[in-house]
């Protein structure tokens, strides 16, 4: 199992990194402008190399001002993406979607493997109250803010009061969604261990299940408000229950299979994880199983029903260190900057209100649950980030309500872009202040989460 000692880079090292980053952007920019036809020939492989190198160097430079590596990966993708320097075009970004699939599967597996029963018991009371208040208070309050700003939204300003209320409830569900990938990315870099890190990981993984249930419930309530011909259908709950149970059942089966393989064979784990990440994700989608929930259950089974959890986590670390850099850099390239410029006033208002109510709900739930003082202060910090899950929910809503779905999804993209850039910074700041990171504890620590720090060599 690898270990790492945190240390400061010298000034000359930072200068070399800055020079290398400038050369990376400058050379590729010049090549694509002088010979535009070369861009299409380089394609996906060149894009992966560029995002990996630029993301690595950018993250190292931003580390000097205390920003998380994840912010560097995102910023490198934004600058090199289709909306700024156009070093990576839209087609290439879409072709990198298999990398996203692999990264999300590894993140879910690692997240499940980090959730030990003993850990969940220690934070069960806090989790219960946080889940209740974050899922109700934030949803209702942000939906109220949406009603206030609806006159400034092209897709909502002409709706009557009842349809606006239906759309607001759907936006409230979006506000409840969190980002497992951002949480795991920050925990990977910082090696954080402590109450805030433990609570954040447990809550965010649990919230994936909760938000899926909330979406089905709010869509059932919103349908008669938005459409006079719509009605409440109990069948939606039946379908939802079947999907959740089948996802857990498939995940448990996969987890048992992984545990047996790790114990009896234990070799070629890189190929096994690649096969699981690429092949099974598509299979799960085809048979109607939620892949994140299934992989989460699989990791949980490996850790709690066998002694193979550390081996699984170490294998994910070795496999994912490069994958996660490309994943977050690609997420940055996906951000629609022109759209953000168009919708930023309303998006900022909605994001600010979501962050405010998240903090308030977190403080109240921690006080009611009698959490430790450090959780009362910083337990909310990981809940601001949003990423793929929120965008996935917006796609579901767009398909279910085509009359306003396109505008709704555009606003969701703008809001996620803001939360994706600000949330990881807040979480790392909180972990530093809570004294749970290597910044405050420079001794050697074992690596138990996937390492997204490319400087480690893999």
Q: In whole angstroms, what is the distance from residue 214 CA to residue 209 CA?
A: 9
Predicted confidence at residue 142, as pLDDT, reads 95
**Which 8-state DSSP code applies to residue 446?**
E
Predicted confidence at residue 256, as pLDDT, reads 93
Buried-exposed string 58-92: b where 16+ CB fall within 10 A, e elsewhere? bbbbbbeeebbbbbbbbbbbbbbbbbeeebbbeeb
Tokens of 108: 């879910």
On the CB side of 18, CA atoms within 13 Å amount to: 11
Q: In whole angstroms, what is the distance from residue 73 CA to residue 321 CA?
A: 13
Closest CA to 362 of 375, 349, 346, 353: 375
Predicted confidence at residue 356, as pLDDT, reads 95
**Which 8-state DSSP code applies to residue 339?**
H
Q: What is the pTM of this model?
A: 0.74
Predicted confidence at residue 349, as pLDDT, reads 93
Q: In whole angstroms, what is the distance from residue 63 CA to residue 220 CA?
A: 45
Contact 210, 128 (CB under 8 A): no
Predicted confidence at residue 388, as pLDDT, reads 67
**pLDDT digit of tens for each residue in the chain (458 aa)?**
333 334 457 888 888 888 988 998 888 888 777 776 655 555 677 788 888 889 889 988 888 887 888 788 888 888 888 888 888 887 888 778 777 778 878 878 887 887 788 878 878 888 899 999 999 999 999 999 999 999 988 888 888 888 999 999 999 999 998 888 788 888 878 888 889 998 998 888 888 778 878 887 888 888 888 876 555 566 666 777 777 888 889 999 999 999 999 988 888 888 888 888 888 887 887 787 878 788 888 999 999 999 888 888 888 877 767 777 888 888 778 777 777 777 788 989 999 999 999 999 999 999 999 888 999 899 999 999 887 678 778 877 887 888 888 888 888 888 888 888 899 899 999 999 998 886 544 333 333 333 333 333 33
Predicted confidence at residue 156, as pLDDT, reads 86
Tokens of 192: 């954080």
Predicted confidence at residue 395, as pLDDT, reads 76
Q: In whole angstroms, what is the distance from residue 397 CA to residue 175 CA?
A: 14
Which region, left, alpha or beta, applies to residue 21 given φ > 0 means left and ψ of -120 to 50 means alpha?
A: alpha
Closest CA to 190 of 70, 303, 76, 326: 70
Structural domains in the chain plus CATH codes: 3-97 (no CATH), 99-456 (1.20.1530.20)
Contact 49, 28 (CB under 8 A): no
Crossing angle (nearest 10°) for helices 337-368 and 405-433: 50
Tokens of 308: 């193979």
Tokens of 436: 């749970």
Predicted confidence at residue 445, as pLDDT, reads 34
């Amino acid at each position: 199992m690898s270990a790492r000692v945190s240390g400061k880079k010298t000034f000359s090292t930072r200068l070399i990194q800055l020079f290398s980053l400038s050369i990376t952007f400058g050379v590729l920019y010049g090549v694509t402008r002088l010979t535009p036809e070369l861009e299409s020939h380089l394609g996906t492989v060149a894009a992966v190399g560029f995002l990996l190198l630029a993301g690595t160097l950018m993250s190292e430079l931003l580390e000097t001002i205390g920003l998380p590596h994840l912010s560097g990966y995102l910023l490198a993708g934004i600058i090199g993406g289709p909306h700024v320097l156009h070093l990576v075009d839209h087609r290439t970004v879409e072709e990198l979607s298999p990398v996203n699939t692999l990264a999300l599967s590894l993140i879910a597996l690692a997240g499940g493997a980090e959730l030990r029963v003993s850990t969940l018991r220690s934070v069960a009371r806090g989790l219960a109250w946080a889940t209740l208040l974050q899922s109700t208070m934030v949803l209702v309050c942000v939906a109220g803010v949406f009603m206030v700003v609806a006159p400034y939204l092209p897709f909502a300003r002409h709706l009557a009061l009842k349809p606006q209320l239906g759309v607001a409830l759907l936006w409230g569900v979006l506000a409840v969604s969190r980002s497992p990938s951002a949480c795991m990315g920050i925990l990977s870099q910082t090696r954080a261990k402590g109450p805030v890190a433990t609570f954040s990981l447990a809550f965010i993984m649990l919230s994936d299940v909760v938000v899926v249930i909330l979406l089905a419930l709010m869509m059932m309530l919103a349908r008669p408000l938005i459409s006079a011909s719509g009605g409440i259908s109990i069948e939606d709950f039946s379908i939802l229950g079947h999907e959740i149970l089948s996802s857990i059942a498939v995940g448990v089966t996969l987890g048992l299979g992984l545990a047996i393989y790790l114990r009896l064979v234990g070799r070629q784990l890189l190929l096994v994880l690649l096969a699981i990440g690429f092949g099974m994700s598509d299979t799960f989608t085809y048979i109607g199983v939620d892949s994140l929930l299934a992989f989460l259950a699989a990791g949980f089974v490996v850790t709690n029903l066998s002694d193979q959890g550390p081996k699984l986590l170490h294998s994910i670390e070795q496999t994912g260190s490069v994958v996660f850099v490309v994943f977050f850099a690609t997420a940055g390239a996906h951000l629609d900057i022109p759209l953000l410029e168009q919708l930023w006033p309303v998006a900022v208002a909605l994001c600010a209100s979501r962050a405010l109510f998240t903090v308030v709900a977190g403080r109240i739930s921690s006080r009611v649950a009698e959490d430790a003082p450090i959780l009362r202060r910083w337990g909310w910090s990981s809940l601001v980030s949003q990423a793929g899950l929120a965008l996935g929910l917006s796609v579901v809503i767009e398909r279910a309500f085509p009359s306003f779905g396109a505008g709704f999804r555009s606003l969701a993209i703008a809001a996620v872009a803001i939360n994706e850039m600000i949330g990881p910074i807040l979480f790392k700041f909180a972990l530093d202040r809570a004294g749970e990171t290597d910044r405050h504890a420079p001794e050697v620590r074992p690596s138990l989460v996937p390492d997204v720090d490319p400087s480690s060599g893999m």
